[in-house]
């Protein structure tokens, strides 16, 4: 009675809790899961995840794991799932590192052009697999600029795209190199893996995210990036094409309103917010929040209640 | 005839060239000069500057030198003028490093609070002179983050303002520290010395400017900074108060439309664009450019033509 009462106080436009997970499961064929805050937090698996994924697989659902984290490749991400005791194949994983490479392939990025990378190993690995030439990345992590009079940095004139992702070794050399490519190489693309304000490098606190690196390059080029990660629909469109999925048959499950839920809505999917990550119930129900999922749940293991009900 | 003709083609709303410098000089009592691109370019003095400044001093004009460059303090800037053979006193120099300290003094920044600095030595020096406690700056230039599970960075809870300026030793440690202060210390201010896309570290090319560092912190905090440098009017208001100048009696001379000229116009001053820096005549006359100064000239030594006329 108490909880029913408090629910009445909530304004009518706020998303309802997921009271009938069985119905949601039956209504879609694919679940797309965000990883940080949904499957794990930093290096810790969230309660009940293995059983939940098993349940959905038993019910014949296709599972896809998307993440805006570009520091790892699909293969490297696969190892993270394995370490946590989850059996997930490389093909089920869509990291924004992969999305950047897939985007460049989708536009037939010329073979004789190169990509300058501000970011970590995952982007390099995915570009390599896609057969795209690159420079930068961790190799530029220790570079310093010399400020002798007359000194100038020269960028490779063959750089046709700058890909920017989270980079813990971000420095001024990279800012200047990326800026020169974007400002001075005709037609050079500015691609962002994501613009997330925060990321979960460790489970102990929130860390400044890829939005910082992208913001820096935007600040010196005054150019808006093309975003391939959430909430842009590139990954969703790619997934729908690749697996021939109807978007209305997809449920996007995530912990962030302005990336995950917006991503699902932008793509025309059903959406489920879980409160196991960065968003709290009061943030969801704040009158200033205009992004409302179809449902919310505490965590994905709330799906398991259908088993209890079935018994 | 030819030049008169081509001038007719220019749309009516475009700024006229300075044909009568004597009239402009007589109409104001103070000249505010931007430095990079007006007085010097990188480490080289622009032609005719010493004679021009002498002429204006002879005519009893007050001279003020403003710069968005925050890497030096007023005193350090004084040395740069001296090295270039210009006699300018510390009190005539208004760098954005000084503006940041002056702003904090103007709001009575509490004595028990500290400033976290993303930037170079100039900001530290000015905070020191203003008696304001600080941390960060060059001392954090080599700091790296450790990503052991459970690791967290702890920020000083007494940081009440983050000041962000150009920083060639910018790194992820600084991004995360600044982000934590702004996001987690209640009421913490986010102050930008400037948001310039480019700066002239050397005379050989344009370098990514303070806009990069500010953009990075904006990207991780989603907070807009309070800007104390151009084109914000803080420095102009401070100057008007300090010297008891009427703003209509000031002429702002600069090479950038979106900082210098906008700064002058925001402050209600007369404005003169010089083409000795980043702006070309075609950029000024581009129909997409909406910022028009009162006049434009090739360089400040165009003032010297009044001498020739007087003979």
Same domain, B255 and B271: yes
**pLDDT, mean of residues A137-141:** 95
The answer to whether B212 contacts A219, with C-beta atoms less than 8 Å apart, is yes
Per-residue pLDDT band at A200 (split at 50, 70, 90): confident
Range list of H helices, chain A: 2-9, 21-27, 49-58, 74-83, 96-106, 121-129, 172-184, 210-221, 234-243, 262-266, 281-285, 305-310
pLDDT over 90 for what percent of chain B?
82
To the query of whether residue A34 is one of the catalytic residues in this protein, the response is: yes
| The pLDDT of residue B310 | 52
Chain A residues in contact with B153 by the CB 8 A cut-off are: 205
Of residues A243 and A29, more confidence is placed in: A29
Q: Which one of B26, B36, B203, B237 is the catalytic residue? A: B36
| The pLDDT of residue A251 | 97
Question: Where is the domain boundary, A227, A253, A273?
Answer: A227
Q: Is the pLDDT of residue B231 over 80?
A: yes
Closest CA to A33 of A18, A22, A15, A46: A46
The answer to whether residue A55 is domain-embedded is: yes
Number of structural domains chain B divides into: 2
Mean pLDDT score of chain A? 92
Chain A residues in contact with B195 by the CB 8 A cut-off are: 219
| The pLDDT of residue B86 | 95
Q: Which of B207, B220, B222 lies nearest to residue A176, judging by beta carbons?
A: B207
**pLDDT, mean of residues A14-31:** 95
Per-residue pLDDT band at B149 (split at 50, 70, 90): confident
Domain holding B184: CATH number?
3.40.50.1000
**pLDDT, mean of residues B112-122:** 98
To the query of whether residue B142 is one of the catalytic residues in this protein, the response is: no
**pLDDT, mean of residues B190-209:** 90
Q: Which of B145, B202, B216 lies nearest to residue A149, judging by beta carbons?
A: B202
Same domain, B222 and B251: no
Q: Is the pLDDT of residue A304 over 50?
A: yes
The answer to whether residue B198 is domain-embedded is: yes
Same domain, B63 and B107: no
Closest CA to A107 of A79, A130, A80: A130
Same domain, B26 and B55: yes
Q: Is the pLDDT of residue B285 over 50?
A: yes
> SS in 3 state form for chain B?
CHHHHHHHHCCCCCCCECCCHHHHHHHCCEEEEECECCCEECCEECCCHHHHHHHHHHCCCEEEEEECCCCCCHHHHHHHHHHCCCCCCHHHEEEHHHHHHHHHHHCCCCCCCEEEEECCHHHHHHHHHCCCEEEEHHHHCCCCCCCCCCCCCCCCCCEEEEEECCCCCCCHHHHHHHHHHHHHCCCCEEEECCCCCEEEEECCEEEECHHHHHHHHHHHHCCCCEECCCCCCHHHHHHHHHHCCCHHHEEEEECCHHHHHHHHHHCCCEEEEECCCCCCHHHHHCCCCCCCCCEEECCHHHHHHHHHHHC
Q: Is the pLDDT of residue A253 over 60?
A: yes
The answer to whether residue B91 is domain-embedded is: no
Q: Is the pLDDT of residue A144 over 50?
A: yes
Domain region containing A60 = 19-68+231-310
Q: Is the pLDDT of residue B116 over 50?
A: yes
Q: Is the pLDDT of residue A195 over 90?
A: yes
Q: Within its chain, how far is the Cα of A220 from the centroid?
A: 25
Same domain, A169 and A111: yes
Closest CA to B90 of B75, B73, B72: B75
Same domain, A215 and A279: no
Same domain, B210 and B113: yes
The answer to whether residue A60 is domain-embedded is: yes
| The pLDDT of residue B10 | 44
Same domain, B138 and B175: yes
Same domain, B217 and B235: no
Per-residue pLDDT band at B308 (split at 50, 70, 90): low
| The pLDDT of residue B200 | 79
Same domain, A140 and A188: yes
The answer to whether residue A5 is domain-embedded is: no
**Is the interface score ipTM higher than 0.90?**
no
The answer to whether residue A271 is domain-embedded is: yes
Q: Is the pLDDT of residue B2 over 50?
A: no
Same domain, B242 and B138: no
Tens digits of per-residue pLDDT, A61-110?
999 999 999 999 999 999 999 999 999 999 999 999 999 999 999 999 99
The answer to whether residue A272 is domain-embedded is: yes
A307 is in an annotated binding site: no
Question: Where is the domain boundary, B227, B261, B295?
Answer: B227
Angstrom distance (rounded) from CA A293 to CA A278: 15
**pLDDT, mean of residues B86-99:** 94
Question: Where is the domain boundary, B196, B227, B258?
Answer: B227
Same domain, A218 and A238: no
Tens digits of per-residue pLDDT, B65-85?
999 999 999 999 999 999 999
Q: Is the pLDDT of residue B309 over 90?
A: no
**pLDDT, mean of residues A213-227:** 98
**pLDDT, mean of residues B271-286:** 96
| The pLDDT of residue A308 | 62
How far off is chain B from A24, nearest CA to CA, in Å? 34
| The pLDDT of residue B16 | 95
Q: Which of A179, A216, A222 lies nearest to residue B213, judging by beta carbons?
A: A216
The answer to whether residue A88 is domain-embedded is: no
Q: Is the pLDDT of residue B222 over 80?
A: yes
**pLDDT, mean of residues B126-148:** 93
């Amino acid at each position: 009675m108490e909880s029913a009462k408090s629910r009445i106080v909530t304004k009518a436009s706020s998303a309802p809790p997921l009271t009938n997970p069985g119905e949601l499961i039956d209504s879609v064929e694919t679940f797309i899961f965000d990883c940080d805050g949904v499957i794990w937090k930093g290096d810790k698996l969230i309660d009940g995840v293995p059983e939940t994924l098993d349940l959905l697989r038993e019910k014949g659902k296709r599972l896809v794991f998307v993440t805006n984290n570009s520091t790892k490749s699909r293969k490297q991400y696969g190892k993270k799932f394995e370490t946590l005791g989850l059996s997930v194949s490389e093909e089920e994983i869509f990291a924004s590192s992969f999305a950047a490479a897939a985007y460049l392939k989708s536009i037939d990025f010329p073979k004789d052009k190169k990509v300058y990378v501000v970011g970590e190993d995952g982007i390099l690995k995915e570009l390599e697999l896609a057969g795209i030439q690159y420079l930068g990345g961790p190799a530029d992590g220790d570079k310093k600029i010399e400020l002798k009079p007359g000194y100038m940095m020269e960028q490779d004139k063959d750089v046709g795209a700058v890909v920017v992702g989270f980079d813990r070794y971000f420095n001024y050399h990279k800012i200047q190199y990326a800026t020169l490519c974007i400002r001075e190489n005709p037609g050079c693309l500015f691609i962002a893996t994501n613009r997330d304000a925060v990321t979960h490098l460790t489970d102990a606190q929130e860390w400044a995210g890829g939005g910082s690196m992208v913001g820096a390059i935007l600040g010196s080029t005054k150019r808006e990036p093309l975003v391939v990660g959430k909430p842009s629909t590139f990954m969703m469109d790619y997934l729908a094409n690749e697996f021939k999925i109807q978007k209305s048959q997809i449920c996007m499950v995530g912990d962030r309103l302005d990336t995950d839920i917006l991503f699902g809505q932008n793509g025309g999917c059903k959406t489920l917010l879980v409160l196991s990550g960065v968003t709290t119930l009061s943030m969801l129900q704040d009158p200033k929040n205009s992004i409302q999922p179809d449902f919310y749940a505490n965590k994905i293991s709330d799906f398991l209640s259908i088993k209890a009900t079935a018994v």
